[in-house]
Amino acid sequence: MKDIQSQDFTAALDSVLHGVCEGPTRVPGVVAMVTDRDDDIYSGAAGERRLGDDAMSEDTVFAIFSTTKAIAGTCALQCVEEGLLDLDAPAKAYAPYLGEVQVLEGFDPDGQPRLRAPKTDVTTRQLMLHTAGFGYDFFNEMYKTMAEAHCQPSVVTGTRAAIETPLLFDPGAKWEYGTNIDWVGQVVEGIRGKRLGEVMRERVFNPLDMQDIAFTRTEAMKSRTATIHARGDDGGLTPMDGFALPDHPEVDMGGHGLYGTVPEYMKFIRMWLNDGNGPKGRVLKPETVEWAVQGALVPPQKVTMLPGVIPSLSNNAEFFPGVEKDWSYTFMVNKEEAPTGRPAGAIGWAGLANCFYWIDRAAGVGGYWATQILPFGDPTSFVGYLDFERTVYDAIRNS
């Protein structure tokens, strides 16, 4: 992949980054990188960590939100490899609350939730595939009602109560994006007898030499953390100085809780490009990597558009509308070539504050785009990311 590196390649990607940091609907700042199987082949930063404040730099720390999920999923896959986790056994064997969870059927005339027992137990496979029945209040009207009328806490609080919520349907009935991977993290904790952050450090971060990534930031990380900004109706940005994922959370949220830098995440992407191998040891077996990246939803289950029911947190959002998409362990898989040039069978996902990544194992290339803006699906950041990815594939085609 080194053959696509050139002054033109770098200049084209720099142009995308600097372009989104200009104009009335600019992003505050962005860090983006591209890697092949061996090393980073592009790294760029533009804009500011906070409007009017320090410049963005490659070592800026981001709340990476749902790009945490693949790391928690990797920890679960390690448990499968060691024979410690049966993906099809009741997950309550590892995380006892899942034996108590009920299904939310709706609300009675007085507004009280109508609950019943699920027809089957939740399994870890269903959790990893987002078919267990858990959702998010910013993507689901019933969870939104539970939050507004029944004090169901937001997941950004990092509390156990935020994930001890009812199911939206019987396990296995359909795909619904939600707190499922937070529960995968709890399964891993039940197996390992340690907090998820400790497991990640020992079994993922150390073998990959990932340092600036954690559920709780060091003082040095705090000093380099980008501020999350709110996009207003007029397109302007307001720093959300009082909003951040909690350090020292009650629960290490496997679905969204990590802080990290883009260079550290690139090391994780390279592990997937290199069949599970890292610079200081193997993280996954090659055969595990091979099956884990395959789409595994069973029709009529399918990846759908994410409806933004809390406009301050998310717009309606979908990768590649009209392109059929599947889900694996735990990534989105596009089943057809995407408009950016991303081929069928590649994997990727995103984080709430408009972080995006992809991993193309066939071509041996992957990338990460990091901004800190709410709501999700920000038009400037998301379109900028798609332009960034498209520019990489244009260079590959022309090399």
Classify residue 320: in a domain, yes or no. Answer: yes
Task: Report strand pairing: 355-360 vs 365-370.
Answer: antiparallel
In the chain, the largest separation of any two C-alpha atoms, in whole Å, equals 65
pLDDT reading at 2 higher than 70: no
Q: Are 371 and 341 contained in the same domain?
A: yes
Classify residue 229: in a domain, yes or no. Answer: yes
Classify residue 200: in a domain, yes or no. Answer: no
Classify residue 321: in a domain, yes or no. Answer: yes
pLDDT reading at 396 higher than 80: yes
Among 161, 189, 217, identify where a domain stops: 189
What average pLDDT score do residues 281-298 get?
98
What are the tens digits of pLDDT across the range 315-335?
A: 999 999 999 999 999 999 999
Q: Are 214 and 286 contained in the same domain?
A: yes
Strands laid side by side in the 365-370 sheet: 40-47, 29-35, 365-370, 355-360, 347-351, 332-334, 325-327
Catalytic residue positions, numbered: 66, 69, 177
Among 189, 219, 242, identify where a domain stops: 189
Among 160, 189, 218, identify where a domain stops: 189
What are the tens digits of pLDDT across the range 67-121?
A: 999 999 999 999 999 999 999 999 999 999 999 999 999 999 999 999 999 999 9
The CATH number of the domain holding residue 16 is 3.40.710.10
Classify residue 194: in a domain, yes or no. Answer: no
pLDDT reading at 129 higher than 80: yes
Classify residue 360: in a domain, yes or no. Answer: yes
Query: What's the Cα-to-Cα distance from 326 to each of 131, 202, 335, 347, 387, rounded to whole Å?
Result: 12, 30, 7, 9, 23
Q: Are 102 and 37 contained in the same domain?
A: no
Contact (CB, 8 A) for 100 and 106: no
The whole-number pLDDT of residue 183 equals 98
Contact (CB, 8 A) for 358 and 350: no
Q: Are 50 and 170 contained in the same domain?
A: no
The whole-number pLDDT of residue 32 equals 98
Q: Are 153 and 301 contained in the same domain?
A: no
Classify residue 73: in a domain, yes or no. Answer: no
Q: Are 182 and 284 contained in the same domain?
A: no
Number of domains in the chain: 2
What are the tens digits of pLDDT across the range 140-174?
A: 999 999 999 999 999 999 999 999 999 999 999 99
Q: Are 145 and 217 contained in the same domain?
A: no
Task: Report strand pairing: 373-374 vs 229-231.
Answer: parallel
Mean pLDDT estimate for the chain: 97
Contact (CB, 8 A) for 108 and 274: no
Q: Are 103 and 64 contained in the same domain?
A: no
Q: Are 379 and 291 contained in the same domain?
A: yes
Q: Are 281 and 359 contained in the same domain?
A: yes
Q: Are 311 and 368 contained in the same domain?
A: yes
pLDDT reading at 371 higher than 80: yes
Classify residue 358: in a domain, yes or no. Answer: yes
Expressed as residue numbers, the domain containing 341 is 2-68+208-398
The whole-number pLDDT of residue 399 equals 82
Q: Are 361 and 214 contained in the same domain?
A: yes
What are the tens digits of pLDDT across the range 189-231?
A: 999 999 999 999 999 999 999 999 999 999 999 999 999 999 9
